[in-house]
């Protein structure tokens, strides 16, 4: 009785379901949504990493400045495949984990295996979709700044980056890590001047970031990051970050007064240590704690 019921069901799966998959060779139209969802935030426009743009079939097939990333019929020789599987590092998407799902990786592999055919019919509603998402919020959110961090910072500030483990243990591969203040806060929501991340980008704190610059960030990118922090370092849905009251900070810059750091007022509690007799104009390191009004209570100022 049981087998009699099971057999037709099995037959249905084999003959009703399987041929549907086997007969449809994936085309670019099938993988485009994956690229749009997980890749184009970085791989688009003039700043695309290694000039690899994944925004259209033609762009993808142009490859990167090092050559093609997809070799039709040869997934094993396609750098794109190696990157999404983590055979070649850094693994893509660079802001993972999460990486692509197994089904997504398999689909891209089948597509390349089938000779990487073009779409046929292009997704027409694509641009209006992008316009909607950029109008979504009047605030700068993490969604707006993530591509900058992705293209310029994550290759080092990642679990397995170009320089090995993240420099200073500072991960910039996602929102939570960028804001993490357990070790110390590199972002003080509401106060870019007290945020070492901004100080490094401006070159007030040295070495300037990105470490492999020049080129450094341009003024539009720097201003966007500053604005993001001024508005509370909001997450992707627009929620402002909590102020990490009491968290440690370690800032670098020029002593511009007694005591200001490039114009940032430093609060004194009366118990701070002043080392090596720093003078106005000296490059110093300031250690302190974040206060509830987003400023810095100094614990130590040392000439460097
Ligand atoms: C957060 C930003 C970011 C995202 C998202 C991202 N990438 Fe990348 N990608 C980079 C950076 C930066 C590099 C250059 C890293 C390096 O030096 O190898 C890169 C390099 C690559 C390369 C190597 C190109 C070459 O010629 O060596 C491929 C292929 C690639 N990415 C594919 C993808 C794919 C596919 C996705 C989506 C599944 C993706 N990337 C998502 C930032 C990103
Ligand atoms: C080529 C690798 C590399 C890239 C790319 C890079 N960094 Fe760094 N980063 C480093 C190194 C190395 C250090 C440690 C430098 C030092 O202080 O001696 C560092 C330190 C930092 C620090 C100080 C961390 C702390 O605990 O005080 C911040 C903040 C920072 N980087 C932000 C960024 C940002 C933002 C970007 C992108 C705009 C970026 N970095 C790109 C290598 C890199």
Burial degree of 156 (CB within 10 A; 0-12, 13-18, 19+): buried
CA angle at residue 84 from 36 to 217, to 5 degrees?
65
- Candidates 135, 136, 151, 145; CA nearest to 237 is 136
Mutate to test the pocket of ligand 1, among 32, 40, 42 (most ligand atoms within 8 A of CB): 42
| Percent of residues, the chain, with pLDDT higher than 70 | 86
Q: Residues 6 or more apart from 17 whose CB is under 8 A from it?
A: none
- Does the structure show a pLDDT above 50 at 129? no
217: exposed, middle or buried (Cβ count in 10 Å: 0-12, 13-18, 19+): buried
pLDDT at 135: 42
Neighbours of 242 (CB within 10 A): 11
Tokens of 151: 């293209």
pLDDT for the residue numbered 22? 47
223 alpha carbon – ligand 2 mean position (Å): 18
Provide the CB-side half-sphere exposure for 2 (13 A, CA). 0
CA distances from 166 to 55, 100, 162, 217, 241 (A): 29, 22, 9, 20, 23
pLDDT at 111 over 70: yes
Is pLDDT larger for residue 13 or for residue 216? 216
> Using an 8 Å Cβ cutoff, are 170 and 187 in contact?
no
pLDDT at position 23 is 53
pLDDT in tens, 18-50: 444 445 789 999 999 999 999 999 999 988 999
The mean pLDDT of 62-77, rounded to a whole number, is 92
pLDDT 10s digits, 191-206: 999 999 999 999 999 9
CB distance 250 to ligand 2 below 6 Å:
yes
Q: What percentage of residues in the chain have a pLDDT greater than 90?
A: 80
* Nearest ligand to the C-alpha atom of residue 304: 2
């Amino acid at each position: 009785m049981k087998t009699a019921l099971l057999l037709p069901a099995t037959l249905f799966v084999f003959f009703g379901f399987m041929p549907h998959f086997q007969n449809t060779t994936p085309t670019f139209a099938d993988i485009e949504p994956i690229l749009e969802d997980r890749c184009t935030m970085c791989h688009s426009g003039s700043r695309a990493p290694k000039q690899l743009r994944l925004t259209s079939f033609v762009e993808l097939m142009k490859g990167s400045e090092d050559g093609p990333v997809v070799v039709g019929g040869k997934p094993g020789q396609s750098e794109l495949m190696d990157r999404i599987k983590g055979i070649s590092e850094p693994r893509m998407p660079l802001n993972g984990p999460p990486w692509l799902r197994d089904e997504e990786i398999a689909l891209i592999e089948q597509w390349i295996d089938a000779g990487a055919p073009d779409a046929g019919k292009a997704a027409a509603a694509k641009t209006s979709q992008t316009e909607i998402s950029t109008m979504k919020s009047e605030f700068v959110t993490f969604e707006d700044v993530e591509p900058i961090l992705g293209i310029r910072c994550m290759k080092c500030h990642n679990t397995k980056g170009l320089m090995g483990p993240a420099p200073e243990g500072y991960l910039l591969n996602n929102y939570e890590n960028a804001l993490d203040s357990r070790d110390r806060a590199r972002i003080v929501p509401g106060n870019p001047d007290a945020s070492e991340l901004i100080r490094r980008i401006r070159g007030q704190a040295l070495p300037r970031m990105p470490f492999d610059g020049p080129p450094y960030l341009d003024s539009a990118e720097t201003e966007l990051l500053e604005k993001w922090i001024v508005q509370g370092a909001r997450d992707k849905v627009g929620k402002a970050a909590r102020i990490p009251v009491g968290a440690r900070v370690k800032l670098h810059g020029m002593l511009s007064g007694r005591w200001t750091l490039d114009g940032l007022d430093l609060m004194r509690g009366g118990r701070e240590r002043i080392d090596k007799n720093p003078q106005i104009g000296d490059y110093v390191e300031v250690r302190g704690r974040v206060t509830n009004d987003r400023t810095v209570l100094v614990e130590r100022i040392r000439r460097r």
